[in-house]
């Protein structure tokens, strides 16, 4: 006789196993989720064989006939260290081992030309700002792109002045500045005392003019005579006499004839005749004019002196003094 109760029990177990097996297959199982050798490795089984599996909505792999799949990704780390897996309509998550959540990345002062990604930290307007998403050229302000991380505090009260430090070394002399505008004219100062009277320059002056003459000359050098006249001059202490004398002469006979024209002075009518600055002129052919000028500064000493131009000829009657001679005498102080 058949045991109906046992048969029913066995049939129940078979039906339960048949119903449970498909339910277990309709899941995404994760066997490995870790970071190793610089890669993100995710392994598991899909609900169906040869089924597309998507990781974080970005990366895709296809399971094999045994439903096994494997992700091995370079340079990718989930920000929260949690990955999401999707196969068909099923979705699951897994925590990644050997993974630390990403921190903030200091980027310094904000620059409108730089590219920023989420969690970049910049400074702007005295505050620090965290990027909430990738952006470029977005000025930090509370909104979709940025959030305040640390705001600048209010300016505190001014502190007390510190002690004066020691004087530093003197710097190099700077370049000379531009000349400033001319200032207004100042008031006229008081008149100073009158200075002492300086020495007088020209004390007196005389002019002698006339035609030289050979009268009284016997010929031959050394026979000097005043011509045409002389001037009596009283010379004081420290005084001198400046004499400038000129004349013109020409030959009457062809040949070479000498004439001496100078300045002479003597004391009284019979004093010794002193001659100074005479000029020796070599004369040439007849009718050849020759101009003669002499300038002498006499220092005869204090006293009364006869001073004037003087003449001496080599041979009388051979020369003609064809112009008036002019002589200027100046009594001066000092040299």
* pLDDT one-digit tens code per residue, 178-212: 898 988 988 888 888 887 766 668 989 999 998 88
Domain CATH number, residue 213: 2.60.120.40
Domain boundary among 95, 118, 139: 95
Apex CA 77: angle with CA 74 and CA 81, to 5°?
145
Domain CATH number, residue 69: 2.60.40.10
- One domain for residues 241 and 329: yes
Strands 225-226 and 127-131 turn out to be unpaired
pLDDT at 32: 95
The one-character DSSP state at 141 is -
- One domain for residues 70 and 138: no
- One domain for residues 211 and 298: yes
- One domain for residues 211 and 316: yes
Q: Which two tokens stand for residue 258?
A: 């000498």
Kindly report whether the peptide bond that precedes residue 312 is cis, defined as omega within 30 degrees of 0: no
Domain residue limits at 129: 105-150
Identify the segments of the chain with pLDDT beneath 50: 1-24
Domain CATH number, residue 134: 2.10.10.20
pLDDT at 222: 67
- One domain for residues 238 and 260: yes
Q: Determine, yes or no, domain membership for 176.
A: no
Give the helix/strand (H/E) hosting 15. Answer: helix 4-25
What tens digit of pLDDT does each residue of 80-99 get? 899 999 999 999 999 999 88
CA distance 270 to 34: 146
Indicate the SS3 state at residue 146. strand
Q: Which of 255, 260, 257 is nearest to 285 (CA)?
A: 255
pLDDT at 2: 42
- One domain for residues 209 and 307: yes
CA distance 46 to 106: 41
Indicate the SS3 state at residue 36. strand
- One domain for residues 230 and 135: no
CA distance 47 to 23: 10
Q: Determine, yes or no, domain membership for 239.
A: yes
CA distance 250 to 287: 6
Q: Determine, yes or no, domain membership for 172.
A: no
Structural domain count, the chain: 3
- One domain for residues 124 and 29: no
The b/e string for 233-254 (b: 16+ C-beta within 10 A; e otherwise) is: bebeeebbbebebbbbbbbeee
Strands 231-235 and 303-313 turn out to be antiparallel
The one-character DSSP state at 16 is H
């Amino acid at each position: 006789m058949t045991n109906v109760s046992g048969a029913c029990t066995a049939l129940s177990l078979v039906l339960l196993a048949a119903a449970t097996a498909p339910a277990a297959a309709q899941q995404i199982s994760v066997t490995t989720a870790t970071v190793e050798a610089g890669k993100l490795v995710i392994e598991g089984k899909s609900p169906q064989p040869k089924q597309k599996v998507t990781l974080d909505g970005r990366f895709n792999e296809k399971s094999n006939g045994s439903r096994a799949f494997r992700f091995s990704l370079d340079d990718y780390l989930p920000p929260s260290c949690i990955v999401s897996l999707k196969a068909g309509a099923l979705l699951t998550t897994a925590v990644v081992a050997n993974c630390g959540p990403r921190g903030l990345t200091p980027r310094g002062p904000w620059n409108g030309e730089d590219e920023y990604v989420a969690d970049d930290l910049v400074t702007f307007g005295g505050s620090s700002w965290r990027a909430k998403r990738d952006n470029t050229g977005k000025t930090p302000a509370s909104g979709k792109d940025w959030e305040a991380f640390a705001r600048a505090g209010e300016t505190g009260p001014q502190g007390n002045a510190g002690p004066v430090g020691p004087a530093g070394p003197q710097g190099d002399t700077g370049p000379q500045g531009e000349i400033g505008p001319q200032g207004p004219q100042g008031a006229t100062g008081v008149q100073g005392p009158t200075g002492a009277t300086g020495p007088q320059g020209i004390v007196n002056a005389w002019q002698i003019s006339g035609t030289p003459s050979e009268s009284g000359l016997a010929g031959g050098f050394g026979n000097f005579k005043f011509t045409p006249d002389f001037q009596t001059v009283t010379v004081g202490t420290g005084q001198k006499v400046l004499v400038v004398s000129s004349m013109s002469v020409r030959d009457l006979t062809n040949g070479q004839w000498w004439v001496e024209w100078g300045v002479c002075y003597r004391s009284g009518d019979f004093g010794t005749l002193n001659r100074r600055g005479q000029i020796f002129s070599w004369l040439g052919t007849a009718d050849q004019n020759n101009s003669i000028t002499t300038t002498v500064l006499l220092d005869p000493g204090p006293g009364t002196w006869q001073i004037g131009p003087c003449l001496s000829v080599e041979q009388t009657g051979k020369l003609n003094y064809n112009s008036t001679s002019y002589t200027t005498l100046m009594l001066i102080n000092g040299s």
